Structure 1
């Protein structure tokens, strides 16, 4: 059986449906937990004084991990807050228990829960729950993408001078200098720029057509896995520089027409 046949086989389809149902259920539970935002935060510093986790990041990851292992004890898990469990089943979950921690800390909308499941063929299932903006996205590989249960499609074609583009910024000062230079260049050529503060939400907003494009350097796998699948299944191209694989070095997401120009501008 060839790769495409396997991806679309009844066994694979049944597994994807099972993983999607589980991801949806857990993302909703984590979203409910996070909506009970505390008045006082305990901060755990990470890579720098402006990069931190709260007790809610940690509580959300604990909830997600426990629910996954309860349902599928042989699956692997990769989590932003340290979860690292090797897979015995061939399925590995990639989770960001609270994407947009700074937004959450300041009480700004856009933070979300991001959960994806991957196997040797790549990410098969992705969900992003952003309860602060009443948006729940989901996708399965080759199965399309939805927002709040409705099929979605990215904007395409979009002319560069009419494009609303989102980006994000690194915690590293040297990276920020390069990012600022690129922003200064793009702002003279596009409609406008947005800084949402949560990479998974940015990708999903591209998928829904609420943004025309998105680019960012420094995203981790848990930032990209679910949102990247959702954007792809909504018709967007999600790549790195020069059309290569998306990853920590660069993520560029947009409909095909705009994507080509963004890739050329970003270099």
Structure 2
């Protein structure tokens, strides 16, 4: 793939993520949790989510009209250029609802089915993470690198939980299997940011079941370009069944533990 095309895709993603992040940050009502002008606070979050995706898709349509698109809020078109955008306009909606800072805008570009550029903007952190395939991972002008290798028992691991009660119950059991053999567990609430935190050396690893392509695409590339290993079940890629990212020393033993614990099923 030409390097100038990678650079163009990254530039478009950075612009779209920056503008959508600003919309979400500046448009969030200060009293969102008790908003009286809507039927529920969830309606406000949904409206902001849809507005952010509309802004992103408008930028993509203007700058890359022949590209395909897959978005969380329903956008799905094949395109004719070989490039497909995978967009999560608001990853971490519950955090956004509660006024917690860990939410972001995730935008990835695929070419021939492979993610070649990814951006995750985290406006409340004041950080934007980005990567192109083969070009390393970055936060602004600072190059990212995952943590130096440490054994599993000294690893800080993040995870997430689904919304369905039966799935959550099983995921709690999996977490109970992992907690005694690692340093500790965190639950950040945004898959995209958890993956970026692996890239930035803030976590040694992360796993989750039930992710969608838009949750995973940009953050996985960023983590991998920072030196992390990514995948799903043994010898399989990351998927909705199981997604895993970790430092090279932590990846294999954590993957094996998750396999034994049945983290890939409900």
Question: What TM-score does the superposition give when structure 1 sets the normalisation length?
Answer: 0.91
Residue 117 of structure 2 is matched in structure 1 by 125
2:88 to 88, 96, 114: 96
Residue 131 of structure 2 is matched in structure 1 by 139
1:31 aligned onto 2:59: no
- SS across alignment from 2:202: coil
Structure 2 vs 1, CA of residues 191 and 82 (structure 1 numbering), >3 Å: closer, same or farther? same
Residue 179 of structure 2 is matched in structure 1 by 187
C-alpha separation in 2, matches of 1:75 and 1:19: 11
Gaps of 5+ in 1: 1-6
- SS across alignment from 2:66: coil
How big is each residue's C-alpha offset from its partner over 1:126-150, in whole Å with a ceiling of 9 and x where there is no partner?
0000011122100000111001221
C-alpha separation in 2, matches of 1:107 and 1:78: 27
How big is each residue's C-alpha offset from its partner over 1:50-79, in whole Å with a ceiling of 9 and x where there is no partner?
999521101000000001001111111110
1:106 to 90, 98, 115: 98
Residue 158 of structure 1 is matched in structure 2 by 150
Aligned-pair CA distance for 1:186: 1.2
Structure 2 vs 1, CA of residues 142 and 121 (structure 1 numbering), >3 Å: closer, same or farther? farther
Residue 227 of structure 2 is matched in structure 1 by 235
1:219 aligned onto 2:231: no
C-alpha separation in 2, matches of 1:241 and 1:187: 19
C-alpha separation in 2, matches of 1:62 and 1:163: 39
C-alpha separation in 1, matches of 2:52 and 2:44: 15
Partners of 2:106 and 2:192 within 8 A in 1? yes
The alignment yields a C-alpha RMSD, in angstroms, of 1.8
Partners of 2:45 and 2:97 within 8 A in 1? no
1:15 to 5, 21, 27: 5
